[in-house]
Chains A and B, each alone.
Chain A
Amino acid sequence: MPMQVPWLIFLLPFLSFLMIGLVLRPFLPRYPRLAGYVTIGAVGISCALSFWVLGAVISSPGHMLPVDDIRWAVVGNLEMHIGVMVDSLTAVMVVVVTFISLMVQIYSQGYMKGDPGYMRYYAFMSLFTACMLGLVLANNILFMFVFWEGVGLGSYLLIGFWFHKPSAANAAKKAFIVTRFGDLGFLAAILILFATTGTFDTGEIYKLVAAGTLTGTTLTWVAIGIFAGACGKSAQFPLHVWLPDAMEGPTPVSALIHAATMVAAGVFLVARFYPIFSHSPEAMLVVAVIGAFTAIFAASIGFVMNDIKRVLAYSTISQLGYMMLGLGVGGVAIGIFHLFNHAFFKALLFLGAGSVNHSSGTFDMRLMGGLRKSMPWTYITFVIGSLSLAGIWPLAGFWSKDEILMNAFSNNPTLFVLALITVFMTAFYMFRAVFMTFHGEYKGGAPSEHGDHDEHPQGPHESPAVMVVPLVILAVMAVCSGWINVTGFFNGLFEGDVEGAVHKIGFLEGFFGTLTHPLPLASLLIALAGIFLAFAIYIKKWISAEKITNAVRPLYTLLSHKYYMDDLYENVIVKTFLYNGLFKLFAMFDTSVVDGTVNGTASAASSAGSALKKLQNGQTQVYAFTIALGVVAIAVVVYLFG
Chain B
Amino acid sequence: MPEITYSITFYLMAAIAVAAALGVIILRDVFRAALSLILLFMTVAGIYLLLHADFLAIVQILIYVGAISVLIIVAIMLTRDARQGQPLGKIKWVAGIVALALIGVIAWGVINTAFYLSSTPPLEETVKPLGNLLFGNPGYMLTSEIAAVLLLSAILGAIAVIREK
Contact = CB atoms under 8 A, between A and B. Distances in A.
Interface of A: 605-606, 608-609, 612-613, 616, 618, 621-622, 625, 628-629, 631-632, 635-636
B162 A606 contact: yes
Mostly, the B contact residues are loop
Q: Which 4 A-B pairs have the closest CB atoms?
A: A632-B101, A635-B105, A618-B89, A616-B86
B91 A632 contact: no
B111 interface: no
B77 interface: no
Given A606-B162, A609-B79, A616-B86, A621 B105 contact: no
B101 A618 contact: no
A629 B102 CA distance: 8
A632 B105 contact: yes
Contact of B89 (A612, A613, A621): A621
A632 B98 contact: yes
Interface in B72-101: 79, 81-82, 86, 89-91, 94-95, 98-99, 101
Q: Residue among B82, B94, B98, B105 with the most chain A CB within 10 A?
A: B98
Given A621-B91, A636-B105, A628 B82 contact: no
A622 B165 contact: no
Contacts of B94: 625
B3 interface: no
A513 to B, nearest CB: 84
Contacts of A631: 102, 105
Contact of B82 (A605, A612, A621): A612
Nearest to A634: B105
B105 A629 contact: no
5 contacts: A621-B91, A622-B91, A625-B91, A632-B102, A636-B105
Given A612-B82, A618-B90, A636-B105, A606 B95 contact: no
B124 interface: no
Contacts of B98: 625, 628-629, 632
Contacts of B90: 618
Given A609-B82, A625-B94, 8 more contacts: A612-B82, A618-B89, A618-B90, A621-B91, A621-B95, A622-B91, A625-B91, A635-B105
A632 B102 CA distance: 6
Contact of B81 (A608, A609, A622): A609
A605 B161 CA distance: 11
Interface in B115-165: 162-165
B157 to A, nearest CB: 13
A115 to B, nearest CB: 53
A600 B66 CA distance: 36
Given A628-B98, A631-B102, A635-B105, A606 B89 contact: no
Contacts of A632: 98, 101-102, 105
A169 to B, nearest CB: 43
A117 B79 CA distance: 64
Contacts of B95: 621, 625, 628
A405 B81 CA distance: 87
B68 to A, nearest CB: 17
A629 B94 CA distance: 10
B165 A605 contact: yes
Nearest to A609: B79
B91 A618 contact: yes
A10 B59 CA distance: 75
A612 B72 CA distance: 14
Contacts of B102: 628, 631-632
Contacts of A635: 105
Contacts of B86: 616
A606 B164 contact: yes
A635 B105 CA distance: 7
Contacts of B82: 609, 612
Nearest to B100: A632
Contacts of A618: 89-91
A35 B95 CA distance: 65
Nearest to A619: B89
A165 B79 CA distance: 59
Interface string B63-75: 0000000000000
A632 B163 CA distance: 41
Nearest to A624: B95
A628 B89 contact: no
A516 B54 CA distance: 112
A618 B90 CA distance: 8
Nearest to B105: A635
Contacts of A605: 165
A452 B42 CA distance: 83
Contacts of B79: 609
Nearest to B109: A635
B82 to A, nearest CB: 6
Nearest to A607: B79
A461 B165 CA distance: 72
A103 to B, nearest CB: 67
Contacts of A616: 86
Interface string B27-70: 00000000000000000000000000000000000000000000
Nearest to B88: A621
A628 B105 contact: no
Nearest to B90: A618
A618 B88 CA distance: 9
B135 to A, nearest CB: 35
Q: Residue among B79, B89, B99, B164 with the most chain A CB within 10 A?
A: B89
Nearest to B79: A609
Contacts of B163: 606
A616 B99 CA distance: 19
Contacts of A612: 82
A338 to B, nearest CB: 64
Nearest to B78: A609
Nearest to A612: B82
A629 B91 CA distance: 13
A1 to B, nearest CB: 67
A616 B165 CA distance: 24
A581 B50 CA distance: 60
A122 to B, nearest CB: 54
Nearest to B86: A616
Contacts of A622: 91
B27 to A, nearest CB: 16
B73 to A, nearest CB: 16
Nearest to B104: A632
A609 B82 CA distance: 8
Q: Residue among B81, B91, B101, B164 with the most chain A CB within 10 A?
A: B101
Nearest to B85: A616
B165 to A, nearest CB: 6
A605 B164 CA distance: 9
A633 to B, nearest CB: 9
Contacts of B165: 605-606
A609 B76 CA distance: 10
B89 to A, nearest CB: 5
Nearest to A625: B95
A609 B79 CA distance: 7
B78 to A, nearest CB: 9
Nearest to A635: B105
A43 B160 CA distance: 62
